[in-house]
Amino acid sequence: MFLFLVVALAVVVAAVTLAVVGGGDGSGPLPEAQPQRLHDPLPWDRPVGRADVDALRFPLAVRGYRMADVDDALNRLGAELAERDARIADLESAAAGPRDTAEDRAPTPGAVTLDKPGTGDHQ
Protein backbone atom coordinates (compact mmCIF):
# COMPACT_ATOMS: atom_id res chain seq x y z
CA MET A 1 0.00 0.00 0.00
CA PHE A 2 2.81 2.38 0.91
CA LEU A 3 4.59 1.55 -2.32
CA PHE A 4 1.39 2.33 -4.29
CA LEU A 5 1.13 5.81 -2.67
CA VAL A 6 4.78 6.58 -3.48
CA VAL A 7 4.33 5.53 -7.12
CA ALA A 8 1.09 7.54 -7.41
CA LEU A 9 2.82 10.60 -5.92
CA ALA A 10 5.71 10.21 -8.37
CA VAL A 11 3.29 9.98 -11.31
CA VAL A 12 1.43 13.11 -10.19
CA VAL A 13 4.68 15.05 -9.71
CA ALA A 14 5.93 13.95 -13.14
CA ALA A 15 2.65 14.93 -14.83
CA VAL A 16 2.64 18.38 -13.21
CA THR A 17 6.30 18.91 -14.11
CA LEU A 18 5.69 17.97 -17.74
CA ALA A 19 2.62 20.20 -17.91
CA VAL A 20 4.47 23.21 -16.51
CA VAL A 21 7.79 22.81 -18.31
CA GLY A 22 6.80 21.25 -21.59
CA GLY A 23 3.23 22.45 -21.89
CA GLY A 24 1.90 24.44 -24.81
CA ASP A 25 2.96 24.52 -28.43
CA GLY A 26 5.84 26.94 -27.93
CA SER A 27 3.94 29.94 -29.32
CA GLY A 28 4.72 32.06 -26.27
CA PRO A 29 2.43 33.59 -23.71
CA LEU A 30 -1.26 34.03 -24.24
CA PRO A 31 -2.27 37.13 -26.19
CA GLU A 32 -3.43 40.15 -24.26
CA ALA A 33 -7.17 40.15 -23.69
CA GLN A 34 -9.02 43.02 -25.30
CA PRO A 35 -10.77 45.24 -22.75
CA GLN A 36 -14.51 45.46 -22.84
CA ARG A 37 -15.74 48.50 -24.70
CA LEU A 38 -18.98 50.40 -24.47
CA HIS A 39 -21.35 48.56 -26.84
CA ASP A 40 -24.00 51.26 -27.27
CA PRO A 41 -22.35 54.68 -26.92
CA LEU A 42 -24.34 57.89 -27.07
CA PRO A 43 -25.50 58.67 -30.63
CA TRP A 44 -23.45 61.17 -32.63
CA ASP A 45 -25.96 61.62 -35.45
CA ARG A 46 -28.70 63.19 -33.30
CA PRO A 47 -29.15 64.98 -29.97
CA VAL A 48 -28.97 62.85 -26.85
CA GLY A 49 -32.33 62.10 -25.31
CA ARG A 50 -33.50 60.89 -21.92
CA ALA A 51 -33.91 57.32 -23.23
CA ASP A 52 -30.27 57.33 -24.44
CA VAL A 53 -29.03 58.27 -20.97
CA ASP A 54 -31.32 55.71 -19.30
CA ALA A 55 -30.07 52.96 -21.63
CA LEU A 56 -26.39 53.82 -21.14
CA ARG A 57 -24.56 50.98 -19.36
CA PHE A 58 -20.81 50.98 -18.79
CA PRO A 59 -18.81 47.73 -18.88
CA LEU A 60 -17.18 46.76 -15.61
CA ALA A 61 -13.44 46.89 -15.22
CA VAL A 62 -11.12 45.66 -12.47
CA ARG A 63 -11.84 48.59 -10.15
CA GLY A 64 -15.27 49.72 -11.29
CA TYR A 65 -15.95 51.29 -14.68
CA ARG A 66 -13.53 52.14 -17.47
CA MET A 67 -12.60 55.78 -16.97
CA ALA A 68 -12.30 56.44 -20.71
CA ASP A 69 -15.89 55.35 -21.36
CA VAL A 70 -17.25 57.40 -18.47
CA ASP A 71 -15.20 60.45 -19.49
CA ASP A 72 -16.42 60.19 -23.09
CA ALA A 73 -20.05 59.98 -21.97
CA LEU A 74 -19.72 62.88 -19.53
CA ASN A 75 -17.95 65.05 -22.11
CA ARG A 76 -20.68 64.35 -24.64
CA LEU A 77 -23.45 65.11 -22.13
CA GLY A 78 -21.66 68.31 -21.07
CA ALA A 79 -21.39 69.46 -24.68
CA GLU A 80 -25.07 68.68 -25.29
CA LEU A 81 -26.11 70.62 -22.18
CA ALA A 82 -23.95 73.62 -23.13
CA GLU A 83 -25.43 73.61 -26.63
CA ARG A 84 -28.98 73.44 -25.25
CA ASP A 85 -28.27 76.23 -22.73
CA ALA A 86 -26.96 78.45 -25.53
CA ARG A 87 -30.01 77.65 -27.66
CA ILE A 88 -32.38 78.44 -24.76
CA ALA A 89 -30.57 81.74 -24.13
CA ASP A 90 -30.86 82.64 -27.84
CA LEU A 91 -34.57 81.82 -27.88
CA GLU A 92 -35.22 83.76 -24.68
CA SER A 93 -33.40 86.83 -26.00
CA ALA A 94 -35.26 86.58 -29.31
CA ALA A 95 -38.57 86.28 -27.47
CA ALA A 96 -37.78 89.25 -25.22
CA GLY A 97 -36.69 91.55 -28.10
CA PRO A 98 -39.97 92.17 -30.00
CA ARG A 99 -41.95 92.78 -26.79
CA ASP A 100 -40.76 96.42 -26.57
CA THR A 101 -43.73 97.99 -28.42
CA ALA A 102 -45.57 101.29 -28.09
CA GLU A 103 -48.20 99.60 -25.90
CA ASP A 104 -45.52 98.62 -23.41
CA ARG A 105 -44.21 102.21 -23.21
CA ALA A 106 -47.60 103.91 -22.90
CA PRO A 107 -48.79 104.48 -19.33
CA THR A 108 -51.77 102.44 -18.28
CA PRO A 109 -54.94 104.30 -17.30
CA GLY A 110 -55.02 105.08 -13.57
CA ALA A 111 -51.28 104.54 -13.17
CA VAL A 112 -49.39 106.95 -10.95
CA THR A 113 -46.52 108.73 -12.66
CA LEU A 114 -43.60 110.00 -10.65
CA ASP A 115 -41.91 113.28 -11.56
CA LYS A 116 -38.17 113.34 -11.86
CA PRO A 117 -36.43 115.23 -9.03
CA GLY A 118 -36.02 118.91 -9.80
CA THR A 119 -39.00 119.12 -12.19
CA GLY A 120 -41.73 119.52 -9.57
CA ASP A 121 -42.94 122.62 -7.68
CA HIS A 122 -40.76 122.13 -4.60
CA GLN A 123 -39.79 125.13 -2.51
CB atoms within 10 A of CB 42: 19
CA angle 85, 46, 94 (to 5 degrees): 35
Mean pLDDT, 10 residues at a time, the chain of 123 residues? 91 84 63 68 82 82 82 89 92 80 58 53 51
- Letter for the amino acid at 67? M
Q: Strand, coil or helix: what is 59?
A: coil
Predicted TM-score of the model (pTM) = 0.45
pLDDT for residue 13: 92
What three-state secondary structure class fits 81?
A: helix
